[in-house]
Homo-oligomer: A and B are copies of this chain.
Amino acid sequence: MPDTPTLKLDRDGLHRFISEVWPAQQDAYDPARYEALRPFFCRYRYPVTGDDLRPGATVSGPTMMRLADIASYSLILAHLGDAALAVTTGLSIDFLRRPVGPTLVCDAELVKLGRSLAVSRITIGSAEDGSEPNLAEPEAIANVTYSLSLLR
């Protein structure tokens, strides 16, 4: 990654692409959710809903894993564009503190973008709706690995 690449899709392009190929998920890729989307970095904000909660008003693990997946997939798609096929091959997550919301902030950092493999590093924390999360005390951290190939 010596040279900073230009993104092939911005947040609107990303949303358009998902709406076309995977309409059921278009809300998850709403452009308003991306506080930042730039080379090697994405910050995604997610307002917790009642469906995400476990007993004790804790956000469920599957919701956290889904956020890690969305943020890292968004970042890779933004880099590679719609001609690429990126398939998740591995995810490893540690849950560190009770995730409380009301907004979950998920940072994805792309630490490897090779020809056949991409890896992103995820940090998730809670924030009030408009404010900054305290990511020095994250609620979860994860590493996500993708296998890459060209569709055409």
Enumerate chain A interface residues (CB-CB to B < 8 A). 1-2, 21-22, 24, 50-51, 54-55, 60-62, 65-66, 69, 87-97, 111-112, 116-117, 119, 121, 136-138, 141, 143, 145, 147
Contact = CB atoms under 8 A, between A and B. Distances in A.
20 contacts: A1-B136, A22-B54, A24-B50, A60-B69, A61-B65, A61-B69, A62-B62, A62-B69, A87-B95, A90-B92, A90-B93, A90-B94, A91-B93, A92-B92, A94-B145, A97-B112, A111-B137, A111-B141, A116-B116, A141-B143
Given A21-B55, A22-B55, A50-B24, A143 B94 contact: yes
B92 A145 contact: no
A6 B26 CA distance: 46
Given A1-B136, A111-B141, A65 B91 contact: yes
A47 to B, nearest CB: 17
A20 to B, nearest CB: 9
B94 A119 contact: yes
Nearest to A92: B92
